[in-house]
C-alpha cells in the first residue's frame, strides 16, 4: 500500500516510535527492504537519493517502488532523499513520489526558509509530504571546539522559526551524527533533541544513523526521533554478501547466485533496524 510520508510519520510521532527510511538503488535492495518490513509487519519508507535516480533512472525507480508498494502488505512511502533542486523535486512529484526532502541546510537560515517554503507550496498542492533539514551533519569529532560544534548542530531557536515559517511535515536535525562510516563513536546531543522536540512537537528525522550504537538509537527514539535514515549499513551487508560468494565460490558466475545471498544479508540488517526503532507490528490496513 503506497502512502504519503506524512501518514507514516504523524502516526510515529503520536505513538512514539521511529520508522526506518532505507536508501535503495536497485531491485535487490528494494526487495530486501520490503520483505523485511513485511516480516516485521512495519510501515517503511523507501528513499532514493539524486545519485540513485541518476544511476537507475527515474522511470525505473518509480515503476519498481510503486509496484512493490502496491503489492506490499504494509504501508510504504516513496521518498526523495536530499533533494537539492526544484527540477528534481518536481520530476519526483510528477513520477509518483509521495514524499520529498528539500535539503537547504547549506544555505543561511533565511534562504533555507525561502527555498523550503517554495517546495512546500508545490508539494502540498500535489498531496506530497515534505522533509527539510536544518543544521549541518558531519560528525562532531572530539577535536572540534565547543562553540564550533554548537554552530554545526541545529539551534532550537532556529528550528522553531523554521518549522513555523515553512510548514514542513518533518524536520531533519543535526545532533552529532554523520553520513557514511564513523571513525570514532558518535556522541549524540540528546538535550538538544529534547529541546527541539518540545518546541516543535512534530516528526523529527535522524540522518546518518548507520554505525550509531543501538543504545543511542533507542534513546533517540524515546526522546522523539520518528524517521531514521539508513544507507551505509545496508551497503555493507550487500557487499559482505557478494564478497562471501566471490571468495568462497570463485567459480560462480550467475548474478542471481551472487546477488541472492546479498539480498538475504540486507534483509537481516533491515529487520534488526526495524525492531530497534520500535516499529515492528506498527503497520495498519486501510
Site string for ligand 13P, 209-228 (x = CB under 6 A): xx------------------
Site string for ligand 13P, 14-53 (x = CB under 6 A): ---------x------------------------------
Are 131 and 171 spatial neighbours (Cβ–Cβ below 8 Å)? yes
Residue from the set 40, 169, 231, 233 that interacts with ligand G3H by CB under 6 A? 231
Select 137 or 193, whichever has its Cβ closest to ligand G3H: 137
Based on the shown chain and the rule CB under 6 A, indicate whether residue 82 belongs to the binding site for ligand G3H.
yes
Q: Which three cell numbers stand for residue 84?
A: 537539492
Is the backbone of residue 224 left (phi > 0), alpha (psi -120 to 50) or beta? left
Residue from the set 10, 114, 144, 179 that interacts with ligand G3H by CB under 6 A? 179
Is residue 147 annotated as a catalytic residue, yes or no?
no
Query: Nearest distance from residue 257's CB to ligand G3H, in Å?
Result: 26
Instruction: Mark the segment that binds ligand G3H (CB under 6 A) among 47-55, 111-119, 143-151, 252-260.
Output: 47-55
Q: Which three cell numbers stand for residue 74?
A: 504494509
Query: At residue 85, what are phi and psi to the nearest 5 degrees?
Result: -125, 155
Q: Which three cell numbers stand for residue 286?
A: 486501510
Residue from the set 49, 105, 129, 226 that interacts with ligand G3H by CB under 6 A? 49
Based on the shown chain and the rule CB under 6 A, indicate whether residue 230 belongs to the binding site for ligand 13P.
yes
- Could you say which residues in the range 136-195 bind ligand 13P, by CB under 6 A? 179-180
Question: Residue 51's binding partner, choosing from ligand 13P, ligand G3H, Zn ion, none, with beta-carbon cut-off 5 to 8 A by kind?
Answer: ligand G3H
- Could you say which residues in the range 95-124 bind ligand 13P, by CB under 6 A? none
What's the Rg (C-alpha) of the chain?
Answer: 18
Query: Nearest distance from residue 100's CB to ligand 13P, in Å?
Result: 13
Dist CA 268 CA 248 (whole Å): 20
Based on the shown chain and the rule CB under 6 A, indicate whether residue 51 belongs to the binding site for ligand G3H.
yes
> Given 81, 103, 231, 233, which residue is catalytic?
81
- Could you say which residues in the range 109-148 bind ligand G3H, by CB under 6 A? none
Instruction: Mark the segment that binds ligand G3H (CB under 6 A) among 14-22, 44-52, 87-95, 220-228.
Output: 44-52
Dist CA 24 CA 44 (whole Å): 12
CA separation, residue 154 to residues 84, 113, 283 (Å): 19, 14, 31
Question: Residue 168's binding partner, choosing from Zn ion, ligand 13P, ligand G3H, none, with beta-carbon cut-off 5 to 8 A by kind?
Answer: none
Are 37 and 76 spatial neighbours (Cβ–Cβ below 8 Å)? yes
Are 255 and 26 spatial neighbours (Cβ–Cβ below 8 Å)? no
Question: Residue 52's binding partner, choosing from ligand G3H, ligand 13P, Zn ion, none, with beta-carbon cut-off 5 to 8 A by kind?
Answer: ligand G3H
Total of residues contacting ligand G3H (CB under 6 A): 8
Are 259 and 280 spatial neighbours (Cβ–Cβ below 8 Å)? no
Query: At residue 247, what are phi and psi to the nearest 5 degrees?
Result: -75, -45
Strands 19-23 vs 99-102: parallel, antiparallel or unpaired: unpaired
* Angle subtended by helix axes 27-40 and 58-71, to nearest 10: 20
DSSP H helices, 204-276, are 214-222, 232-248, 255-276
Are 89 and 59 spatial neighbours (Cβ–Cβ below 8 Å)? no
Instruction: Give me the residues that bind ligand G3H (CB under 6 A), please.
Output: 23, 49, 51-52, 81-82, 179, 231
Amino acid at each position: 500500500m503506497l502512502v504519503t510520508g506524512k501518514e507514516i510519520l504523524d502516526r510515529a510521532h503520536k505513538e512514539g516510535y521511529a520508522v526506518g527510511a532505507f536508501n535503495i538503488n536497485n531491485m535487490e535492495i528494494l526487495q530486501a527492504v520490503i520483505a523485511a518490513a513485511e516480516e516485521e509487519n512495519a510501515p517503511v519508507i523507501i528513499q532514493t537519493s539524486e545519485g540513485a535516480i541518476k544511476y537507475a533512472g527515474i522511470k525505473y525507480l518509480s515503476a519498481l517502488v510503486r509496484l512493490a508498494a502496491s503489492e506490499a502488505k504494509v504501508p510504504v512511502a516513496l521518498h526523495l532523499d536530499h533533494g537539492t533542486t526544484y527540477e528534481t523535486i518536481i520530476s519526483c512529484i510528477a513520477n509518483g513520489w509521495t514524499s520529498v526532502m528539500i535539503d537547504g541546510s547549506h544555505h543561511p537560515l533565511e534562504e533555507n526558509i525561502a527555498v523550503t517554503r517554495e517546495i512546500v507550496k508545490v508539494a502540498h498542492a500535489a498531496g506530497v509530504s515534505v522533509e527539510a533539514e536544518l543544521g549541518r551533519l558531519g560528525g562532531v569529532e572530539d577535536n572540534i571546539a565547543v562553540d564550533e560544534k554548537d554552530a554545526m548542530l541545529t539551534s532550537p531557536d532556529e528550528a522553531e522559526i523554521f518549522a513555523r515559517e515553512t510548514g514542513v511535515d518533518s524536520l531533519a536535525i543535526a545532533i552529532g551524527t554523520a553520513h557514511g562510516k564513523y571513525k570514532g563513536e558518535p556522541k549524540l546531543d540528546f538535550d538538544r533533541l529534547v529541546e527541539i522536540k518540545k518546541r516543535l512537537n512534530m516528526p523529527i528525522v535522524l540522518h546518518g544513523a548507520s554505525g550509531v550504537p543501538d543504545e543511542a538509537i533507542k534513546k533517540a527514539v524515546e526522546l522523539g526521533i520518528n524517521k531514521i535514515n539508513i544507507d551505509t549499513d545496508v551497503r555493507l551487508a550487500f557487499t559482505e554478501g557478494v564478497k562471501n560468494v566471490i571468495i568462497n565460490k570463485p567459480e560462480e558466475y550467475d548474478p542471481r547466485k551472487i546477488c541472492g545471498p546479498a539480498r538475504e544479508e540486507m534483509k537481516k540488517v533491515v529487520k534488526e533496524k526495524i525492531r530497534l526503532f520500535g516499529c515492528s507490528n506498527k503497520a495498519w490496513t486501510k
